[in-house]
Structure 1
Amino acid sequence: MPLQEMKTYKGRQEVPDDFDEFWDKQIQKVNENLPYKIVKRNFGLKNVWCFDLFFEGTNNGIVHAKCVFPAYCKKAPVVFRFHGYMGQALDWADLLQYEPMGVGLVAMDVRGQQGQSVDGEAFYGNTVLGHIVRGAVDGPEHLFYKDVFLDAYSLIEIVSDFEMVDEDKLYTWGDSQGGALALVSAALNPRIKKCATQYPFLSDFKRILELGPTTLPYEELFRYFKFYDPFHKTEAKLLNTLSYIDVKNFAHRIKCPVLMFTGLEDKTCFPSTQFAIYNRILSKKDHILLPEYDHEPMFYYVSSAVSNWLLGTKFPLEPPDTSSKTFKDEFRR
């Protein structure tokens, strides 16, 4: 799709009429006093609290998150960091990046993937490859990602009540699946004050079907039809069900500022599906486009830009100009 067309593109399907009602009811079902357990980690680090957080998710799930907080702050801002598809939370060493700035970092393991979170639900239908269609044959109430989205909502609720947390400075950040969770968290939980997202997953499923099975994370959509419904008799029903976890349909619920990064060569989460989200966001927003990048780690600028934007810090985004006469004169001096 040409870039000019993408700038106004909002996706192939509209939001279901009862979308907000559906999600408001799901949130109401979440236990207000969620039981949780904290397991302290001792890495020999001074002035740093590291601990595992476990809590009960919906449908018999057990959700795990790694938490790193500066021990010297009475009230610390918190960044909720979400990981990519089929992965797990960052390593503990990688979670220390915000602590020197007096900021806490909380990284959730998505249930049923590579981390310590446990998926306790039973599903009918295809469970061979992937999570998008898991539970879809039974309708929106039974979707796997419905529970994952509620896990993220619950995590924010629990952490925001911690004594050392500044509940007025809660932020989300993630890439791919994590980018989707960062956006959905901001849409479902108004406690989130800023959201940064990089090439978000789980958007515009009908558009994905049009583009064809060219990307592994979305391949399960095509496997569903190939092995379960080769004549596409249930396509309309399936797409309607999936519309309740389609991230573009959450965009209108987001009230906080959003920063999005998109690689225009992305062949995993196609740029048009990302624009379908961005163009529906009604709050303050900014879209940074990187023409040469695919669905891959983006250069150092992104990490620094996100820190600057989320936290209001002033890290230099550009290296010094070593070719300038001023630099050379100062160096020789």
Structure 2
Amino acid sequence: MKDSMSLKDMESYRGRLEVPDDFDSFWSKEIKKIEAKPFKLIKRNFGDNIKNVVFYDLFFKGTDNGIVHAKCIFPAHEKNIPVVFYFHGYMGQALDWVDFMQYAAIGVGVVAMDVRGQQGQSVDNGTYAGNTVLGHIIRGAVDGPDHLFYKNVYLDVYTLIETVADMSRVDKEHLYSWGGSQGGALSLIAAALNPRIKKCATQYPFLSDFKHVLEMGDRGLPYDELFRYFKFYDPFHKTEDKLMRTLSYIDVKNFAHRIKCPVLMFTGLEDDTCFPATQFAIFNRIESPKKHMLLPEYGHEAMFYYVDSAAFNWLFDTKFPENPPDTSSNALE
């Protein structure tokens, strides 16, 4: 099912609910609670044939006693390395090591975090009242914004950036974020919570405009948990206003005004998972330099090298071709 809103309306749409009055103070207080934490770097050896790249497992303690893991891939024997923080999609984990070696080829490091409680090595040790049967959006919501699962994940993102920025080999003035779906949301959160991020690229970001999602109806994963909450816990929606307010503290559109760096966003107009309107609600609230690249025939799916190369070129000011080579008969003459 396509989004109910026309493209013309989406171009000025800012979402269904406004930012809570205490939103910024809430997040400022949460960030101030974070103390410098020890971290562990464990070097990985993938054989003697790989000489120009070094690999590390990074572990640190996150909020609520979580253990956060990230893969670190750096060009060997280099200092002042720019770093891109890569974030993965919902229920997944960081890509394989080899998928990030392209960055090392141009002298850029990659740090890819596993979201706690999903498929990677990060561990969520939090305890939550209410529904923990399916999904992470509403986990902890019955106890208010202080107890939200994603609050901890967002703070993990902030802490990760601080931890990596302090590494001696890293150029802390050239830090970037990039990801799709849940990863697209976390890329934006990275820029919103930590001003060290100098560029942010995001592909069909998740976790935005929950009220619009509710109005569109259940389309299955990954928002199914929102509808299951009402179906099994509150079928008459007596707590809807309270729940929507609680979730507003992790609604990505509400972080947009905090972003100070340039943003590049990719949206497929056929997306029936993260509805285009929910993505426009983020984009239209961003006050920093921004560019929105629309793909009319694409949904929530792989966008092949068109998007990957466009993001790569934009983040690192490279000029790799974004279109396939001309293989027409004239081109071969």
> What is the TM-score of this pair, normalised by structure 2?
0.97
Contact 1:225–1:232 under 8 Å retained in 2: yes
Query: Tell me, which stretches of 5 or more residues in structure 2 are unaligned?
Result: none
Letter of the aligned partner of 2:76 in structure 1?
A
Q: Distance in 2 between matches of 1:13 and 1:283?
A: 21
Separation in structure 2 between the aligned mates of residue 93 and residue 207 of structure 1, nearest angstrom: 38
Show the counterpart of 1:85. Answer: 90
The one of 34, 39, 42 aligned to 1:36: 39
Tell me how far 1:324 sits from its aligned partner: 6.9
Q: Could you tell me which of 22, 28, 31 is aligned with 1:24? A: 28
Distance 1:299 1:85 in 2: 19
Displacement of 1:92 after TM fit? 1.0
Q: Tell me, in whole angstroms, the C-alpha distance in 1 between the residues paired with 2:322 and 2:271.
A: 24
**Partners in 2 of 1:320 and 1:35 — Cα distance?**
48
1:164 aligns to 2:169 (yes or no): yes
Structure 2 CA distance, aligned partners of 1:81 and 1:322? 33
- Alpha-carbon distance in structure 2 between the residues aligned to 1:301 and 1:209: 32
> 1: CA distance between counterparts of 2:90 and 2:83?
23
**What's the counterpart of residue 265 of structure 1?**
270
For residues 11-48 of structure 1, what are the alpha-carbon distances to aligned partners after superposition, in whole Å with 9 as ceiling and x for unaligned? 000000000000000000111x2111111100121021
Q: Select the residue among 14, 24, 27 that pairs with 1:10.
A: 14
Shift of 1:317: 1.5
Q: Show CA shifts across 1:166-224 (max 9, x none).
A: 11110000000000000011000000000000000000001011000013110101100
Q: How does 1:1-333 map to 2 (within 5 A)?
A: 1-31=5-35, 33-44=36-47, 45-323=50-328, 325=330, 327-329=331-333
2:68 partner SS: strand
**After superposition, what is the alpha-carbon deviation per residue over 1:34-63, rounded to whole angstroms, capped at 9, x for unaligned?**
111111100121021100000000001000
Distance of 1:286 and 1:268 partners within structure 2 = 22
For residues 292 and 252 of structure 1, what CA distance do their matches in structure 2 show? 29
Q: CA deviation at 1:164?
A: 0.9
Letter in 1 for 2:42: V
Q: Tell me the percent identity.
A: 72
Secondary structure (helix, strand or coil) at the match of 1:300 reads helix
Aligned 8 A contact 1:49 1:69 in 2: yes
For 1:175 and 1:319, the matched residues in 2 are separated by 22
Cα distance, 1:74 vs. partner? 1.3
Q: What residue identity is the alignment partner of 1:162?
A: M
**For the aligned residues, what is the CA RMSD?**
0.9
- Aligned counterparts of 2:11 and 2:104: Cα–Cα separation in 1: 37
- Partner Cα distance (1:322, 1:295) in 2: 29
Question: 2 CA distance for matches of 1:74 and 1:137?
Answer: 47
The one-letter code matched in structure 1 to 2:309 is: S
CA distance in 1, matches of 2:7, 2:59: 43
Q: Secondary structure at the match of 1:217?
A: coil
AA partner of residue 41 (structure 2): I
Output the amino acid matched with 2:232: F
Whole-angstrom distance in 1 between the partners of 2:71 and 2:236:
45
State how far apart, in whole Å, the 1-side matches of 2:107 and 2:289 are. 26
How far did 1:281 drift?
0.3
Q: TM-score, normalised by structure 1?
A: 0.97
Q: Distance in 1 between matches of 2:211 and 2:203?
A: 21
**Structure 1: unaligned runs, 5 residues or longer:** none
CA distance in 1, matches of 2:68, 2:308: 26
| Alignment CA distance shift 1:294-1:147 (3 Å) | same
SS in 1 for 2:308: helix
Is the Cα contact below 8 Å between 1:215 and 1:267 reproduced in 2?
no
**Aligned-partner SS, 2:304:** coil
Q: Per the alignment, in what secondary structure is the counterpart of residue 195 of structure 1?
A: strand
3-state SS of paired residue (1:269): coil
Q: 1:321: Cα distance to partner?
A: 2.4
Aligned equivalents of 1:100 and 1:321: distance in 2? Answer: 26
Structure 1 residue 323: Cα displacement: 2.9
